[in-house]
Amino acid sequence: MKLQMIGCSHHDAAVEFREKISFTTEQAGKALEKFRKQFPSSEIVLLSTCNRVELYTTSHDDSAVDRESVTKFIADQHHLDHDAVIDQMIYRHGNEAVEHLFTVASSLDSMVVGEAQILSQVKQAYDLACTWDSVGPLTHGVFQAANRAAKRVQHETDIHKRRVSVPSVAVGEVATEIFDRLSDKRIVLCGAGEMGQETLRYLKGAGANDICVLNRSHERAVKVAKSFDASCDQWDTLDQQMLNTDLVIGTTSATEPILDLETFQAVHARRGHRLLLILDLAIPRDFDPRIGELSNVYLYGIDDLKKACERNQREREQEWPKAKQIIAEETSKCVKALHHRATGPVIQRLREQAHDLKREELDRLINKLQLAEIDSSAVKEIEKSFDRLINKLLHPPLSSVRDDAAEGHSKGLLEALRHLFNLGD
């Protein structure tokens, strides 16, 4: 039995195609159930995120679960043409499939290398497969090993520690450098789009709990604020909000600044000497850059933050060789364990077969020579001789099979052993 991966990601397929073949959690559960009914002897884990759709399945050498059958299964689930699907899919099997999974789980294959979310997504995919009973010994072993590999990369490299997105740098490096903590700071977030929501996630993660969301569409502000346990207010209250805020963040798509210098000067005069941090994450800019020249005002624009992102990205790339070495080590360790595990049942059957033959021949010998009435210690010595003979006969071939297992069964000795001794599958 071997592992294979069939799927696509942001590296090789457009988002329009990935959207067509993606699975919600509910759809994934139903797909796992259907797959097991269609291929009852196979195992499957389905990983579906915004950037990738990958099916990890097991198959025997003569199994019908191959690239064609799996891509046809995916196409059928989404009522798509099979040829159109298979042209977009990549295929990995054996060692390559294991290494690919470890690379994905460790976030080395992500759009943003080092992002932490993918490991939890891999765990969720595995847990869902466990729930639907679509995993087995091979997928259990490989996905647990993938988690260990990812943890090693996290703990032994700095690839996850350098922030590379603008909101993460803005909150995690700039805001936390200006303020000792965010838990007691008043924060106003302008904009409730994708950038605003990502910024909210980092703010909540940093301990902020007094956040007010402003958006031109108040309905959207209410919805986003509720999902992040924040407050919201009308868009035209920005001036008033800034009187008592410590941190204001701009993430809107406005074509003109939402706050000009003249308007802010009136606010600034009423703030006294209270420090204000402005993080302008918008393009075009939300705040007149001249505001940053006023006393007690720290204004960081998108260019400042992008430079930090680029610096952190370069530092992450320096960690890449170390991370890849960990992946290589863990892949080799996992593959060796899988190969040795595959030899176990065959060796066990061979030893059981030899033991049964020994017992038959020993009983026949005792009955024929009428040895039952002699000293039992003599019978035990005869049995020991049989055991030694079996061990001496089996030792060379079993040692060769174990050595071959360590090399990935490259010589095919395990399969030969099955056929020579008629051990079955």
Token pair recorded at residue 254:
């406005």
Q: Which residues are identified as catalytic?
A: 50
Q: Compute φ and ψ for 424, nearest 5 degrees.
A: 80, -170
* Structural element, H or E, at residue 90: strand 90-93
Burial class (CB in 10 A: 0-12, 13-18, 19+), 229: exposed
Residue type, 133: D
Rounded CA separation 408/102 (Å): 18
Rounded CA separation 51/86 (Å): 18
Rounded CA separation 55/76 (Å): 14
* Structural element, H or E, at residue 59: strand 52-59
By DSSP bridging, strand 2-9 and strand 90-93 are antiparallel
Bridge partners (DSSP) of residue 3 are 58
Token pair recorded at residue 11:
């590296």
Rounded CA separation 82/281 (Å): 43
Bridge partners (DSSP) of residue 91 are 6
Map residue 8 onto helix, strand or coil: strand
**Nearest alpha carbon to residue 313 among 126, 151, 112, 178:** 112
Q: How far apart are the first and last CA of the chain?
A: 10
**Would you mind telling me the total number of residues written for the chain in this entry?**
425
Place of tokens 């790339």: 317
Q: Compute φ and ψ for 252, nearest 5 degrees.
A: -80, 175
Rounded CA separation 419/425 (Å): 9
Longest dimension (CA), the chain: 116
CB atoms within 10 A of CB 175: 25
Rounded CA separation 188/280 (Å): 12
